[in-house]
Amino acid sequence: MNGANGYRTLKEDPERPIQRDYERGHEDPISVLTGLCREMYRLGWVTGTGGGISLRQGRFVYMAPSGVQKERIRPDDVFVLDSESGEVLCRPEHAPTLRVSQCCPLFFNAFRLRDAGACIHTHSPVAVMATMLPATELESEFRITHLEMIKGLPGYGYHDTLVIPLIDNTAQEEELAGAMAEAMKRYARSPAVLVRRHGLYAWGRDYTEAKTVTECLDYLFDIAVRMHSAGLDYTKAPQNCLQCSAADR
């Protein structure tokens, strides 16, 4: 049955009532979502209504509305969706015209293909610049090595080459979902996907890991842009790396 606002009115499961609170032992995801949006706005990652974050805890996915000032989202603006079906379980009743973020299918890629607990989408200027570096454009992937912050990515070490896939941008955000899923399948080790001239999707087991991954990547994108401007090759090990030169002998 469709309610007045076009969303189906869902029958409550008396055993597992739809709830805006959170599963025991976790921080309240709605407070985390609104708080992180404020912090990411200050970093320039989610300005002009772009970007966002979605959290998954058990049966529930928490997501911001589309086209809103991300830094001013209030708890009752947040949508709650079923993590299995993607169905909207709770919506902002005070604002019936609000729609769930256009990033929804992309956030669900992270939940379904990586069992992520959180996915962050930024329009960070350095992430966009990283998509336009000659090496990234040529290979359709961003590669970087021998920087300390690579260790902030799960399973990576200083001497590793970090590889992040790059996909082309589309006119509408949700049209990115297929190419993102393909890139995630081809780059099983990557905790993120870059979107050419658009931004970044990065995820983690929970919001702290997703936030760490995003912060480390943003730092590495910035260093790559600066190294490129200085005529330095961020994709190659430094000549004086004893471990790498020993391995090459």
Ligand X SMILES: CSC[C@@H](O)[C@@H](O)C(=O)COP(=O)(O)O
Which residue number, 51 or 191, has a Cβ lying nearer to ligand X? 51
In DSSP terms, 194 is beta-bridged to 166, 200
- Is residue 54 within a helix (H) or strand (E), and if so which, with residue range? strand 52-57
Is the CB of residue 79 less than 8 Å from the CB of residue 88?
yes
Which DSSP letter does residue 9 get?
Answer: P
Least distance between ligand X and beta carbon 176 (Å): 9
Residue 121 labeled ligand binder: yes
Which residue number, 25 or 48, has a Cβ lying nearer to ligand X? 48
Residue 146 labeled ligand binder: no
Least distance between ligand X and beta carbon 54 (Å): 9
* Residues found near ligand X in the complex (CB under 6 A): 48-52, 66-67, 101-103, 121, 173
Q: Which of 39, 87, 93, 148 is catalytic?
A: 148
- Is residue 219 within a helix (H) or strand (E), and if so which, with residue range? helix 207-229
Is the CB of residue 154 less than 8 Å from the CB of residue 139?
no
Which residue number, 125 or 163, has a Cβ lying nearer to ligand X? 125
- Check if 39 is active-site: no
Residue 159 labeled ligand binder: no
* Residue 4: both structure tokens together: 């007045």
- Is residue 199 within a helix (H) or strand (E), and if so which, with residue range? strand 199-204
Least distance between ligand X and beta carbon 178 (Å): 16
Distance in angstroms (rounded) separating the CA atoms of residues 187 and 166:
10
Just list the catalytic residues.
148
Residue positions forming the annotated binding site for Zn(2+)? 121, 123, 198
Residue positions forming the annotated binding site for substrate? 103
Residue positions forming the annotated binding site? 103, 121, 123, 198
